[in-house]
Amino acid sequence: MAGKKRIKRIAVMTGGGDCPGLNAVIRAVTKTAISRYGIEVWGIEDGFLGLIEGRMHPLQYEDVSNILTVGGTILGSCNKSNPFAFHVSAGKGTRKKDVSDICVHNLEHNRIDALICIGGDGTMASASAFAKKGVTVMGVPKTIDNDLWGTEVTFGFNTAVNTAADALDKVHTTASSHHRVMIVEVMGRYAGWIALYAGAASGADVILIPEIPYRFDAIAEYIQARSKKGKRFSIIAVAEGAKPEGGQAFVAKILKDSPDPIRLGGISAVLAEQLETLTGQSCRAVILGHVQRGGSPCPYDRTLATQFGHHVVELLAKGKRNRLVVIKNGQLDSIPLHQAAGRIKTVPKNHPLVLAAKAVNTSFGV
């Protein structure tokens, strides 16, 4: 599959966790390829697991009609199947095995000329590794966390922010009624994009993100100062990866069979207990969890995903290989796939929204 030969058949897959907007990309890729270039499109089922097991099928134009607004992915996904470190049975346990050659064989057996991988940093790391094995690979940036390096924004992020901001809006009334501190924990892994944008959009009093380690006493003092001014409730938006000064992020569990075994979470409960002791105010914790991944994509994500899906096929048709489609300076662009492999984009401490939030007296716990 190496080289610049004409692309006749492509395969598309969704890797890692699901995300609003995946179907919009699949739709745009399939319709652009078929109607504009006469390229056949195959769908790989359940991400890299389907590629390992050889589960793929042709996608017709009609198969992707009426899926633009539908959440999830019609192809299925899997976040536990790294082809270069795949867990296989070994006695009573498992061991890691490189099964990437099986994947290459399955692609060649089905006469796939190019593979389009829709995913985040982990997916792009595997995609880049396949490119080194001679597979023609293209990447489309997907993650609600918005932490994929090289692009200003990923599809799925805005929908997740909408969901998180709506939850923060709703806890305002119950916090006010009961004079409580309400702590809403959002996803994001090691990046604070969702917490920052949802917190700022909902007017959260405190925003805690991994990039700015917090102090319990600073948060407590801020809440008490609000109380003295007659503000008898406070709203805290906290990223699951936020951590105290000199401390570590809170780990909910470890999944040994996953390429990314550490699952963060639980910080909101710890904060609620600590702050209730320090402030004497009633504190409650809410963990949004996977609700942020679900539902219909917002209009912005539908249109962004459509542009990404169309652009990646256009790049292939123009002879571009092993690229990741991105947004740079507000415009569609692409970068070498290997540049984004295994890298994450975090929130700069001087990000304009951080500065704006501080200017309206939002605390970051410092």
- DSSP class per residue in 83-142: TTSEEEEETTEEEEE--HHHHHHHHHHTT--EEEEEE-HHHHHHHHHHHHTT--EEEEEB
Given the DSSP bridges, would you call strands 56-59 and 86-90 parallel, antiparallel or unpaired? Answer: unpaired
Which residue has tokens 């924990």? 185
* 145 flagged as catalytic: yes
Given the DSSP bridges, would you call strands 40-44 and 251-254 parallel, antiparallel or unpaired? Answer: unpaired
Whole-number Å distance between alpha carbons of 192 and 190 = 7
DSSP code, position 80: S
Q: What letter represents residue 9's amino acid?
A: R
| H or E element, residue 23 | helix 22-37
Of 18, 121, 145, 147, which one is the catalytic site residue? Answer: 145
Which residues are tagged catalytic?
Answer: 145
